[in-house]
């Protein structure tokens, strides 16, 4: 099992001069350090971190990972960072996640242990600006984007593709435009017959850190 962490973006909404993955959490370590620890504890044997904005700072913060540089991070979105990472590695089962998400180890373990292609979802939340999803009668995801109507919950940005579908998924990412999120690649893959199923992590702590209020929410949930 491999993992990809997408940490190339500027993170302008947080109004800091650091990559968002280097935000220090209430528990004392950074978002990306927490993610790497969770992945290694679960059994992931190779981690690729896609870097861009102030890449040297991330490279100084963490070790024992592979780096993939997105040189056009300032004009591309997550579909292109993920494509670059996938094109530089051999086919395998791969977990990928956004580099600005705090999560507890249960989230990673559920995705790691689930069979097939999976997307971690929170059924208790459905924010207007968040990525949402919808399933069919067989429990397969049929839509995933910020524009989904009558959504069942939020996709939290932690996902897995199987080795069997890796090659096809890379081709789907290659079809994405520069400004597409990686969810567009998932939608292309669904149209090609690739099956993704949701993994419910509603009972876990999993928070995207976009604003100061998100850190305050995390502090409250961790009871710090």
**CATH code of the domain containing 147:** 3.90.550.10
Band of residue 224 on the pLDDT scale cut at 50, 70, 90? low
In the structure, what pLDDT confidence band is assigned to residue 15 with cuts at 50, 70 and 90? low
Nearest Cα to Cα of residue 184 among 74, 57, 83, 113: 83
Q: Which helix (H) or strand (E) holds 2?
A: strand 2-7
Domain span at residue 185 reads 2-222
Would you list the DSSP string of 138-162? TS-EEEEETT-SS--EEEEEEEEE-
Domain count along the chain: 1
Q: Which H or E run includes 214?
A: helix 212-222
pLDDT given at position 13: 57
Q: Residues 43, 112: contact at Cβ < 8 Å?
A: yes
């Amino acid at each position: 099992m491999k993992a990809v962490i997408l940490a190339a973006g500027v993170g302008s909404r947080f109004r800091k001069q650091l990559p968002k993955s280097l935000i220090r959490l209430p528990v004392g370590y950074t978002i990306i350090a927490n993610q790497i620890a969770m992945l290694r504890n679960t059994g992931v044997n190779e981690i690729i971190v896609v870097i861009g904005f102030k890449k040297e700072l991330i490279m100084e913060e963490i070790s024992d990972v592979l780096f993939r540089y997105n040189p056009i991070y300032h004009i591309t979105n997550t579909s292109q960072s993920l494509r670059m990472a996938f094109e530089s590695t051999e086919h395998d089962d791969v977990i990928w996640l956004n580099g600005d998400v705090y999560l507890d180890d249960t989230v990673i373990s559920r995705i790691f242990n689930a069979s097939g292609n999976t997307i971690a979802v929170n059924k208790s939340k459905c924010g207007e600006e968040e990525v949402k999803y919808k399933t069919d009668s067989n429990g397969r995801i049929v839509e995933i984007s910020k524009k989904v109507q009558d959504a069942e919950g939020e996709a939290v940005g932690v996902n897995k593709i199987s080795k069997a579908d890796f090659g096809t998924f890379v081709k789907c990412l290659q079809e994405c435009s520069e400004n597409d999120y990686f969810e567009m690649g998932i939608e292309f893959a669904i149209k090609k017959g690739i099956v993704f199923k949701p993994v419910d992590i509603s009972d876990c702590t999993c928070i995207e850190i976009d604003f100061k209020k998100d850190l305050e929410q995390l502090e409250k949930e961790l009871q710090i």
